[in-house]
């Protein structure tokens, strides 16, 4: 395939509920150095400016914490991803938290405005909350809602102030294309920890989820074939991989919101390699490694590194 891979390092953790994810990308790089892997030496690496200084102050927006900073992050990622794709590069994003993934989607869509974008979201969580439905205000639970340009007012539980609404609408419109994806072009894998408001909108939009049990019953290869058929009308595909999609007892608890009964590392590798082989795949993102929470030293970063190495080997 011989892709020109560029690692995009994003240390922003302003959308997470716990601290330490900003160290995740460096923990993966450290794991590579300890292993004497040349993966980051042989491929170009670029960094994105973060707004983590906002964590030193109280959040001003109760139901969209640090959304003002996230707009800046979205704009930065949008610009970088769009530029790389326009240069025919293959971005692999190593991001701290998952909240910035909406900026990645915005960048892909800006690079290919006339192409239909499919999204494969591998995660324990659905990340389709809005300020109107969120139980925490943490924006790593909202990136897909920004890409879909939805508010889910039917399930509204929060009274959102006008300033937050204005910023939320601005966030959804980064890149001046909205919506950026269609519900039928999203596929979940391993999602298993959702709230009622998310379940409602997922049912309403008809978004397909492959729970771990179904994946094991059918086998990874069969599921990948089904996903390829479902996204057949999509021109390009973005893969977003949260390490909490994996079972913490089989990896470690080195992530912000671990959930039991997830994928094994072997299943995750098989999925990611198969998706990397798909010529429609234009961007892959790996998120939510948190070495501060790792109960087994740097194990989560080491597992993530192994997955990334397999993806890079496939692309090369």
Choose the catalytic residue: 68, 89, 288, 302.
Answer: 288
Of 271, 282, 189, give the one whose Cα is nearest residue 235.
282
- Catalytic residue, candidates 13, 68, 97, 123: 123
Active site residue 288: yes
From 68, 185, 244, 270, active-site residue = 244
Active site residue 56: no
Q: What's the pLDDT score for residue 1?
A: 62
The active-site residue, picked from 151, 242, 267, 294, is 242
Residues in the chain where the model's pLDDT stays below 50 = none
Domain spanning 5-315: CATH 3.40.50.300:
no
Concerning whether 125 is annotated as a catalytic residue, the answer is yes
DSSP-derived secondary structure for 180-211: -S-GGGEEEES-----HHHHHHHHHHT-EEE-
Q: pTM value?
A: 0.97
Angle at 257 between CA 238 and CA 315, to 5 degrees: 30
- Alpha-carbon gap, residue 221 to 271, rounded angstroms: 8
Predicted local confidence at residue 3, as pLDDT:
82
Domain boundaries, the chain: 5-315
61 a catalytic residue:
no
What residues form DSSP beta bridges with 189? 122, 210
Is 129 part of the annotated catalytic residue set?
no
pLDDT for the residue 38: 96
207 contacts 250 by C-beta, under 8 angstroms: no
Q: Residues for the chain: how many in total?
A: 316
Q: Under a CB-based contact definition with an 8 Å cutoff, are residues 151 and 132 in contact?
A: yes
Single out the catalytic residue among 140, 270, 285, 302: 140
Q: Which of 98, 195, 247, 285 is catalytic?
A: 98
The string of DSSP codes covering 33-73 is HHHT--HHHHSEEEEE---GGGGGS--S-TTSTTHHHHHHH
The active-site residue out of 68, 76, 127, 247 is 127
244 is catalytic: yes
């Amino acid at each position: 395939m011989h892709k020109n891979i560029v690692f995009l390092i994003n240390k922003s953790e302003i959308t997470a509920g716990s601290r330490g994810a900003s160290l995740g990308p460096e923990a993966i790089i450290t794991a590579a150095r300890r292993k004497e892997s040349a993966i980051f030496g042989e491929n170009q690496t670029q960094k994105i400016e973060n707004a983590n200084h906002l964590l030193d102050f109280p959040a001003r927006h109760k139901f969209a914490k640090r959304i003002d900073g996230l707009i800046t992050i979205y704009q930065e990622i949008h610009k970088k991803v769009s530029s790389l794709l326009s240069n025919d590069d293959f971005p692999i994003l190593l991001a701290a938290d998952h909240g910035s993934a909406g900026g990645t989607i915005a960048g892909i869509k800006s690079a290919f405005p006339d192409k239909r974008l499919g999204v494969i979201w591998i995660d324990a969580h659905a990340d389709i909350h809005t300020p109107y439905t969120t139980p925490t205000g943490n924006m790593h639970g909202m990136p897909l809602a920004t890409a879909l340009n939805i508010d889910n007012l039917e399930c509204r539980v929060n009274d959102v102030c006008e300033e937050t609404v204005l910023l939320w609408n601005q966030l959804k419109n980064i890149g001046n294309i909205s919506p950026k994806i269609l519900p039928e072009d999203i596929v979940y894998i391993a999602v298993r920890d959702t709230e009622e408001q998310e379940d409602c909108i997922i049912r309403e939009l008809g978004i397909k989820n492959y729970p771990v049990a179904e994946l094991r019953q059918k086998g990874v290869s069969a599921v990948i074939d089904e996903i390829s058929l479902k996204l057949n009308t999509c021109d390009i595909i973005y893969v977003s991989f949260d390490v909490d999609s994996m079972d913490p007892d089989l990896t470690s608890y080195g992530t912000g919101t671990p959930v039991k009964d997830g994928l094994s590392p072997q299943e995750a590798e098989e999925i990611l390699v198969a998706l990397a082989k798909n010529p429609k795949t234009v961007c892959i993102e790996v998120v939510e490694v948190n070495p501060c929470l790792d109960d087994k030293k740097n194990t989560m970063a080491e597992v993530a590194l192994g997955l990334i190495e397999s993806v890079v080997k496939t692309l090369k």
